[in-house]
Amino acid sequence: MNIFVTGAAGFIGTNFVYYIQKNHRDWKIVGYDALTYAGNAENLREAMNSDNFTFIRGDIRDRDSVEKAFTLHSPDIVINFAAESHVDRSIESPAIFIETNVLGTEVLLDEAMKHNVKRFHQISTDEVYGDLPLDMPELKFTEDSPLRPSSPYSASKAAADLLVLSYHRTYGMDVTISRCSNNYGKYQHQEKLIPKTISCALRNDSIPVYGNGENVRDWIYVEDHCRAIEKIITKGRSGEIYNVGSNNEASNISMIRKILKSMDRSEELITFTKDRRGHDKRYAIDNSKLQRELGPIAFSQFDEKLEETVKWYSKSASL
């Protein structure tokens, strides 16, 4: 099996490369990444020491670069992690999100079709559904929930999803989509909530929290997400969307307090700031379709993996 992993030097892409190397030693992996601020080739140093991994620096918007890579490596499966993903940045500079997340996906789809790729898998997000009210905990997003994106980022991801589905309907292309909840684990950029909280706490700096911090997210350990992707690309039905979540909801403020407690830092570091524009209230994923069709996933124990994550970032900061 030859797989082509875009965004391979990013957070989830890096973890996916290592997951596949550990569990499918006979698979050939091509990692493709533009190495923007959010991609770090250093994360892949161990992977590059393996003969089943090849790294290419390239931008998914660059048709010539993608075409050359596909011609050289003849991938069976393309997994598109590559994306601009930070909501705050999308509010300030929407254009790059449209260019990368929509136009870049179109380039990949065209080249995948031209090179007879067997399956194209799009990594999406639960943010395409918008948000849920805080006072109705029984509500969760299903694959049939309407798309109601709140930010330029989530709108660009929703557009990309629709484009992927259109290639299935119009051209008969074999595609799948996964929409996942918030990930945590190693290699995440420090602009994100958990690594940012750890980094600030290590320096005893104030930790900014939007609004009152009561916004709720469904958190999944990144390796569990990788395991779900593996199931989808090998067993998922063509043309289908699969929601990926671990039923582990927590408010932002409770997450920050949990991290501070584990680091023995004072909650006085918390500083409440003006809320973000269009800030989604709550995300919650119904993952029953994934579990029913592709088999159960044993999700990691949250407190244990969060503690491991805190220790990893703390150690990395001290190196």
Hey, which residues are catalytic here? 126-127, 153
Nearest to 53 by CA among 26, 87, 92: 26
For the purposes of burial, counting CB atoms within 10 Å of the CB of 98, is it exposed (0-12), middle (13-18) or buried (19 or more)?
A: middle
For residues 178 and 231, the answer to whether their CB atoms sit within 8 Å is no
Q: What angle do CA 296, 182, 179 make, to 5 degrees?
A: 60
CA contacts within 13 A on the Cβ side of 159:
18
Nearest to 49 by CA among 29, 23, 70, 72: 29
CA contacts within 13 A on the Cβ side of 225:
30
**Sign of CA pseudo-dihedral 88, 304, 10, 123:** negative
Using CA atoms, how far residue 67 sits from 54, 62, 70, 215, 272, in Å, is 16, 9, 5, 42, 47
64: helix, strand or coil: helix
Beta bridge partners of 231: none
In one letter, which amino acid is 37?
Y
**First and final C-alpha spacing in the chain:** 37
DSSP letter for each residue of 200-251: HHHHT--EEEETTS--EEEEEEHHHHHHHHHHHHHHPPTTEEEEE--S-EEE
